[in-house]
Structure 1
């Protein structure tokens, strides 16, 4: 009996280790493709991982992020809609796995922002308040998360600029985000770590 239990335990550990190894290799490959500018291939790879890792919010998050980033500056309405609908589908899946996750809240805000950037007259009124509320919620949940602080500051600066207001008051928030980036340690190699370079670039010209 003991021998049977031991064999079963070894089998389970081996199976888990194999699954983790496949997950790690898959995620590494997806990031490699993304880094090489192959966003579609990277998104497809993250989708395949997400179909297996149904309790892991990270691959879902990256499908949403890739499709959102690709939508900024997109002029084709059909293509943009397809990308942002996919982003929304996967961010909804990520939220179901990890509710009240500040990283996912920021990603949701970015999806709304992409719609606003595409057509402010159509989406600005209905989505701007939702974006602001998402950042407020994320900040309450994770006041020391550099992406939360930076993304909120970037949104506040954009809103101020749109209404002809001074953006300088938000420079201190960008500076604080950079300080937080210096000490922020992601939970794993695959957890979000983006934003520092962009924050430094904005701070360099902040208030000018």
Structure 2
């Protein structure tokens, strides 16, 4: 009887702990997409890292901590050196989760985004564009249904000069495919990544502007 009671207690405690994890993660993820301050995003990254320390077997807390660091570079007119400091922090987190979860398409998609944001001047273009392309290829192989694969590939092509095989015209098919996938994708797990749709839409709009000029 004692054994049965112990098993029931452990099962109830585990369920409650899991529910608390999911609730906290969902709250932080929702908050992430409302913030437009680098300082606030860096603070939120710290919160995700604290969750990661308590949930060592899960990759999503460190994933979102890294994404917060990357996203923080989008705001407050951050200087290039400051951006690379945040991207270095993000890279450490990506490296950490890749060691134990190298079969996750989303992690390689995040790595590709990180490489793209590294291009803060023309001297970094060729190096990081190629690295991004390689990460995108792995992300696609792991999950060809991941819309961020085609958004990131389209973004990479869009920002590559025409004489190197890039430009809006060549980017458009991937961006259109991503847009269709973003629209039709059913999100069954609220903790899974959803980023990319808004910027993908902006790039498609720019493609249309180029065509009309």
Task: Compute the TM-score of the two structures, normalised by the length of structure 1.
Answer: 0.86
Trace 1:145-156 onto structure 2 (pairs within 5 A). 145-156=146-157
Mark the CA change 1:206 to 1:119 in structure 2 (over 3 Å): closer, same or farther: closer
Aligned residues: 203
Q: How far apart in 2 are the matches of 1:19 and 1:183?
A: 33
Report whether the alignment pairs 1:68 with 2:70. Answer: yes
User: Is there any run of 5+ residues in structure 2 with no aligned partner, and where?
Assistant: none
Q: Secondary structure of 1:202's partner?
A: helix
Report whether the alignment pairs 1:141 with 2:139. Answer: no
Counterpart for residue 88 of structure 2? 85
Counterpart for residue 4 of structure 1? 2
Trace 1:31-50 onto structure 2 (pairs within 5 A). 31-37=29-35, 38-50=40-52
Counterpart for residue 122 of structure 2? 120
Is the CA contact (8 Å cut-off) linking 2:148 and 2:178 kept in structure 1?
yes
Please report how far the alpha carbon of residue 163 of structure 1 lies from its aligned counterpart in structure 2 after TM superposition: 4.4
Trace 1:163-202 onto structure 2 (pairs within 5 A). 163=164, 165-202=166-203
Q: Secondary structure of 1:48's partner?
A: helix
Q: How far apart in 2 are the matches of 1:134 and 1:203?
A: 22
User: Is there any run of 5+ residues in structure 1 with no aligned partner, and where?
Assistant: none
Mark the CA change 1:50 to 1:74 in structure 2 (over 3 Å): closer, same or farther: same
Please report how far the alpha carbon of residue 205 of structure 1 lies from its aligned counterpart in structure 2 after TM superposition: 2.8
Task: Compute the TM-score of the two structures, normalised by the length of structure 2.
Answer: 0.85
Q: Secondary structure of 1:159's partner?
A: coil
Counterpart for residue 105 of structure 1? 108
